[in-house]
Amino acid sequence: MKRWNPRTLTLVATALGSSLAFIDATVVVVALPRIRDDLDLGLSGQQWVFLSYSLTLAALYLVSGAIGDRYGRRESFIGGVVAFALASALCALAPSESVLIAARALQGIGGAVLTTNSLALLREVYGSESGRAIGLWTSLTSIATIGGPPAGGALVEWVSWRWIFIVNVPLAVVTVVLALAGRCHSRETTRVGRMDVLGAFLAALGLAALTYALVEGADRGIGAVWWAIVAAVVGLVGFVLWELRAAEPLLPFELFRRRNFAAANAATFLIYAALGAYLLFVPVFLQFIGYSPFKAGLFLTPGSLAMVLFASRFGAIADRRGPRLLLTVGPTLVGVGLLLLLPISDMSSFWMWIVPATVTLSFGLAMLVAPITNTAIASAPQELAGVASGVNQTVARVGGLLAVAVVGLVVALVFDARTDDPDAQPLPTTEATQEVHDASLAGFRAGMLVAAGLAFGGAAIAAVGISDAEALGRRRRPSGEHAFEA
């Protein structure tokens, strides 16, 4: 029974709940063709089935963290799981396009609450060992990330697309049971006071509009989403001005005066921007040189496998020795791995370079994910752990979306400069002329150079900005206060 102590139950609950939210961000893509046929969706409807979830997820990370800080992280996590399960049931029963899109948006709300508070809850429960706990959380969610899309594809192909949502319900029940059973004798550190409703509204408005502008602007052009850019500026500027004068702000800006908090989030923005570009453009490039979509997807699995094997180990190292070295070397390896993709021009040169590129990038990824997340959360006071988690996840998502837009623009500009065909598109999966092939290679290489530069920038910020003394000192002080019997 020692093995299944409350901390372990809490860890498994947070990993299982977060896995549901992570998988549903991607597995729906596998089901879109069947959903399209069943509900008679157009292209716009298919895009919104995917986008509505991402919008509410990104917009509400910060708000969700503040809710957990005020009303209890375990309670907020359980509430998020329940909301996610109910929204999943609505998705499964959706009779029309509009109902499904609305239900997906509700899923995003539940997903934001549960993922943000899962990390804050781990920090609260594990105290000075939170780096190792977040590493284990990363490993467990990575297992689900690897197996989720294939399992979802099997359900879609052999049963029904509705079952990718139905299975969430019993898994959510298990998550709630584990979370309740994992209650620990740790001191609750929720904040006293009212919720900053206006600040929450402005933050959600600004982040939702920014997310929409980044996603749709990359596809349709900035002119088509000018109104979203205006709404984003109004929301975010209004949020900053209001928070500076609010008696109980949603986001106390004093947090950014903490060296590790500011540095970890700045590094997160650049590193996750690089990873966002990698995750989108590398599978497209692999299909461009001749691989099937299934094989292209398989080449992304080593990164997840590396996190399963090594994330908890690197998290524990950061707990003992500090995160600075790991957060300098890890992003550097990611950048080197991206540069090693540049010599690939066709299937004949693929295997010579893909193995060292994948090994280098995957090892760097495993080295940085848990330490950077834990540094950002642990650098904040315990009572603001939820807000810190929300900030870090918002920064990571916005960084990835921005990179997709910027790197996509770089690829397109370089491609257009190398070809005279106005109708040609970069990285086509069908047979192309030599000119289009060479222009696509040039565009892809330019994009990966930008992504590598972002990763190296993140490494530089970590090397200069992260303080091991602050990280270790801050974790050790409260460890006795928040200790509890396993």
**3 pLDDT above the threshold of 70:** no
**Per-residue pLDDT averaged across 95-119, rounded?**
90
Say how far apart CA 77 and CA 357 lie, in whole Å.
Answer: 38
Asked, for residue 459, whether it belongs to a domain, the answer is yes
Closest residue by Cα to residue 57 from 398, 384, 383, 378: 398
CATH number at residue 370: 1.20.1250.20
Q: Is residue 259 part of a domain?
A: yes
Query: Residue 474 domain-assigned?
Result: yes
Same domain, 35 and 145: yes
Token code pair at residue 458: 């993140």
pLDDT in tens, 13-28: 988 888 888 777 767 7
Say whether pLDDT at 477 is over 50.
no
**Is residue 64 located within the same domain as residue 178?**
yes
pLDDT at 486: 26
Same domain, 266 and 225: no
Q: Is residue 190 part of a domain?
A: no
Task: Please state the domain count of the chain.
Answer: 3
Q: Give yes or no for a contact between 149 and 32, defined as CB atoms under 8 angstroms apart.
A: no
Q: For the packed helices 97-126 and 385-418, what is the interaxial angle rounded to 10 degrees?
A: 130
For residues 317 and 345, membership in a common domain is answered with: yes
Structure confidence at residue 387 (pLDDT): 78
Same-domain check for residues 438 and 310: yes
Same domain, residue pair 449 and 384 = yes
- Single residue among 158, 184, 210 that ends a domain in this structure: 184
Its domain, for residue 349, covers 252-486
Do the domain assignments include residue 235? Answer: yes
Residues 24 and 173 in one domain: yes
Residues 160 and 221 in one domain: no
**440 with 417: CB under 8 angstroms?**
no
Confidence of residue 194 (pLDDT cuts 50, 70, 90): low
**Confidence label for 339 from pLDDT (cuts 50, 70 and 90):** very high
Mean pLDDT, range 339-346, rounded to an integer:
90
